[in-house]
């Protein structure tokens, strides 16, 4: 179909991608073997069978378990370069990657090991694949504010390798206010703030992310439609939402793709972008996310073009770089 080849060939930006969520079962097995780690799965099919989620937490349990095979700098490089190759095939020109340092430092892996491996893959992606990228350090919201602050301090020697800070993991019960101080400190360093909000959590978490963390984008944010005043504010201030359609269906935020509210978000004149979140776990990379919403919601060429352009507009690229890519 013409719209499918249009989607495949469209230059794209990706703004909501957890690099640890790109760990494919094949690489998980290879790294487990290389690092002599015993996986709780006997085969690739057993791994894939375990990827049946009922909500965000049921996914996170498997996600934190999967990342335990990442030990050496080379492992983080292998993970990230595999993503960049995949991104290249999807016509991605720019990406802003999340990483979860606490998922590694809590297991005794030095911060330097993590960021050095990722950085090496970023350099290669720029040189060899023509993909620009930035790193967004995410704080795990199920851990304490003190742990987040300690993580930021550990990261500051690598300040120049970081684009921003984010907030992810278990949303319910961990409102943004818990991380007000660490975001303040990160902003003082010039790090650009974003946060997951309104994925499973209520609209009040989106308000808090805006007012207390002063975020420049909302990751997910799909529950904003429950609050008319919030929608008006997001539209007036042009706050981008990084929406992840396949993720939302896999984690049961919406029962089916046909029930996804992306089209309503567009109708409310919100700056909606399409992203893949944790593609190795949710069954598709960026192009598949575009194809899935297009099919289920009957999006036209204009809407698809709008979504892809929004990805570049909502990115943290400079105005001149945006102009060159748009």
Q: Is 21 in the site for ligand ADE (CB under 6 A)?
A: yes
Nearest approach, Cβ of residue 51 and ligand ADE (Å): 13
Q: Is 142 annotated as a binding residue?
A: no
Q: Indicate the residue among 142 and 322 with the shorter CB distance to ligand ADE.
A: 142
DSSP notation for 117-169: HHHHHHHHIIIII--EEEEEEEEETTS-HHHHHHHHHHHGGGGGG--EEEEES
20 binds Zn ion, rule: CB under 5 A:
no
- The three-class DSSP label of residue 172 is coil
Helices 301-313 & 2-9 angle (0-180, nearest 10) = 10
Candidates 75, 78, 96, 278; binder of ligand ADE (CB under 6 A) is 278
Binding mask 62-91 for ligand ADE (x = CB under 6 A): -x----------------------------
| 18 lines the binding site for ligand ADE (CB under 6 A) | yes
Q: How open is the CA angle 258-248-287, to the nearest 5 degrees?
A: 80
Q: How many residues does the chain have?
A: 326
Q: Residue 39 or 240: which CB sits closer to Zn ion?
A: 240
Task: Work out whether 104 is an interface residue with ligand ADE (CB under 6 A).
Answer: no
Please tell me whether 309 is known to bind a ligand. no
Angle at which helices 286-297 and 301-313 pack, to 10 degrees?
Answer: 140
Which of 223, 277, 280, 285: binder of Zn ion (CB under 5 A)? 277
CA distance 204 to 290: 29
- Candidates 22, 132, 242, 247; binder of ligand ADE (CB under 6 A) is 247
Name every residue whose Cβ is closer than 8 Å to that of residue 279 and which is 6 or more positions away in sequence: 17, 21, 22, 86, 246, 285, 286, 288
Our finding on whether 199 is near ligand ADE (CB under 6 A) is: yes
Edge-first strand listing for the sheet containing 272-274: 12-18, 92-99, 132-140, 164-168, 192-197, 217-220, 241-243, 272-274
278 is in an annotated binding site: yes
**Nearest CB to ligand ADE, comparing residues 56 and 234:** 56
Residues in 28-57 at the binding interface with ligand ADE, rule: CB under 6 A: 56
Binds 21, which of Zn ion, ligand ADE, none (CB < 5 to 8 A, cut-off by type)? ligand ADE
Beta bridge pairs of residue 97: 17, 135
Rounded distance between C-alpha atoms, residue 133 and residue 187, angstroms: 20
Beta-carbon contacts of 33 under 8 Å, excluding residues fewer than 6 positions away, are: none
In the annotation, is 199 catalytic?
A: yes
Choose, from 199, 264, 288, 324, the residue flagged as catalytic: 199
Q: Do 196 and 220 meet the contact criterion of CB atoms below 8 Å apart?
A: yes
Q: In the complex, what is the shortest distance from the CB of residue 196 to ligand ADE, in angstroms, rounded to a whole number?
A: 5
Residues contributing to the annotated binding site for substrate: 278
User: Known catalytic residues?
Assistant: 199
Q: Binding residues for ligand ADE, per CB under 6 A?
A: 18, 21, 56, 63, 168-169, 196, 199, 247, 277-278
Q: Binding residues for Zn ion, per CB under 5 A?
A: 277
Residues contributing to the annotated binding site: 16, 18, 196, 277-278
């Amino acid at each position: 179909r013409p719209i499918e080849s249009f989607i495949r060939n469209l230059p794209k930006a990706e703004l909501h991608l957890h690099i640890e969520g790109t760990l494919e079962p094949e690489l998980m097995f290879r790294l487990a073997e290389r690092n002599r780690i015993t996986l709780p799965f006997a085969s690739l099919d057993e791994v894939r069978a375990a990827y049946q989620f009922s909500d965000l937490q049921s996914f996170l349990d498997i996600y934190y378990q999967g990342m335990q095979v990442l030990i050496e700098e080379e492992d983080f490089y292998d993970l990230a370069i595999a993503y960049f190759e995949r991104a290249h095939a999807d016509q991605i020109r720019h990406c802003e990657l999340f990483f979860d340092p606490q998922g590694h430092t809590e297991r005794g892996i030095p911060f330097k090991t993590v960021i050095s491996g990722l950085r090496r893959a970023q350099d290669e992606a720029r040189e060899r694949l023509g993909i620009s990228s930035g790193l967004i350090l995410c704080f795990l919201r199920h851990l304490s504010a003190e742990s987040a602050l300690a993580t930021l301090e550990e990261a500051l020697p690598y300040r120049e390798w970081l684009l921003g800070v984010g907030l992810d993991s278990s949303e319910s019960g961990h409102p943004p206010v818990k991380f007000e101080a660490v975001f303040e400190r990160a902003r003082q360093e010039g790090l650009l703030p974003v946060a997951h909000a309104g994925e499973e959590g209520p609209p009040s978490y989106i308000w808090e992310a805006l007012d207390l963390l002063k975020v420049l984008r909302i990751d997910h944010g799909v529950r904003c439609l429950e609050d008319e005043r919030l929608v008006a504010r997001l539209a007036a201030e042009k706050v981008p939402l990084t929406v992840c359609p396949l993720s939302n269906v896999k984690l049961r935020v919406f029962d089916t793709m046909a029930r996804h509210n992306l089209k309503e978000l567009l109708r409310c004149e919100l700056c909606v972008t399409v992203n893949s979140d944790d593609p190795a776990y949710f069954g598709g990379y960026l192009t598949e996310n575009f194809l899935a919403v297009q099919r289920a919601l009957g999006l036209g060429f204009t809407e698809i073009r709008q979504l892809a352009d929004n990805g570049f507009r909502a990115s943290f690229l400079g105005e001149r770089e945006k102009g060159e890519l748009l």
